[in-house]
Structure 1
């Protein structure tokens, strides 16, 4: 957006030499929740971030910071600031446009952000640029003020958004299954309260095995039984007829315990009539059940998102012609700049999701389908 005031402004990616100027803009623009020098340095060199600066000659007038996740079709506008003396000259809108172009270049057609409800000027800027409110994040900032969550679909004719699922993030490294199950059950029964007591209770019920070391997560049968006990109809798909993850348990005695727990879960599932289908499956089977109103928990490998070879449960919240929409209970490590808005109904290209939904050398697949009980 060029005007007479900013006709000489150029936009480029930030360099290490810009950090002093960026810190000065940050200190002048924000009273709380500021990016520090270390953060700017990290983002300048990050492969999953784009830090764009607006320059007039040698002067840095503002910046926009966009962050991404690998193989996820969603980006986040993490921060945007313009030096106070150059407000209301179209620089903020031009930086926003640059951020949107970077998002599309990265393959992310949705751009999301958080903005303080106190920041009327920023909210006005985003609404004029066609950003829509989609949630409120209570107690988001260090002063306990709320953040408004906004997003823009940059290619609106190419996407059909699913109904949102209320987000719950796992509070322990091994409770992705219970967190995903809570989101699924809450989507079908909004009266179900999602809290840490339920998260830990579900883990205790559904874990394949509890030990001081080794695998501590949940398999599909344990999760299905936990949902069944709470009044939901369930169905299980598994590509393997037998214990899952047992190959990752090194000690023979510990493997015996994993197998014992699995076959006990299998007996319980058979006793209550939970349908279990064994064999390979794909997106078509998951989508068919979604059309019938079921919520799907799907096992994925985190490798294609985080680079970690770890099995992980997510909730599938919708489909369209291009994307599978996933709610991921893992918001990353404390040092990573992600939060719940980055993890709800995240669009993943269908072929990428098909690759994600296969874990390990054996391409293990597992899914649990949750539905309301008839009547």
Structure 2
């Protein structure tokens, strides 16, 4: 009987994992719940805690943040009762991820810090480096680029000290991306100098990833190169002779990046990066191509709908609305109505997800 329950529990867990990976969150939750109930009957507290963690992760991906927090708190409570310090730290990390996804960066930072401190006490330096990166991502998302760069640099140095080239390359790329984003806050000369640093960092990244044949890293590297080329274009004068070269490189890099993602079977990651490329086609004058921006945005939207990525779906609708606002400036017939339709759909999604700042951004466009 016990063996039968264990087998059933494992089968339910595997089914939950498959459905979650597929973006079918309700059946995933149902199977995780069945596995959890069997493990409770068997008195397997560690397995019960693991399943609360999985439930929280599933709710977070689905954009149901309150339920995610409730499930993760259950996991944390069991870990604390068992005095399981590594998994207590992991639970705080998961809480940070939920708050970050919910755009509550203050709470996300607080929980990542709690996680980092426990890992420091346990001398788990690889995990410390990862938490420094999570903190950097929070500061980046909240547009505090100076602090984000500081934390990415600390994470990078620790990964390098641990001889973890794959993670070091990833941090160096994230550092380069943040430097690129920071240029928007600077004057032309300062921006160009920072873009040069970002490019130097990215070249180091590509050397590391090529040497290690880190295929997923290389996919993101190519997108980063494309966006860096686009940002160079933002600052170049209209008569600059290097414009055609940067435009050609932009397309060459992102096309190669998309090919890597397709080879790896990472449809959602590709779609998320495609939105960034679409935005470059919308916002950067030498690249402006509303048709290509719209094609990429629609393709991304379709993928997000297929995999039930609600937050990303909302961002795709927002971008499509902005593209049609740009069409309206060209006096295209019906563009305003279409823009409003896309933006209202985005607004509805953000409100359902309780993402108030994102909703406010859309409201300003309507």
Q: Name the TM-score, length of structure 2 as normaliser.
A: 0.28
**How high is the TM-score relative to the length of structure 1?**
0.27
Point out the structure with the larger helix share.
2
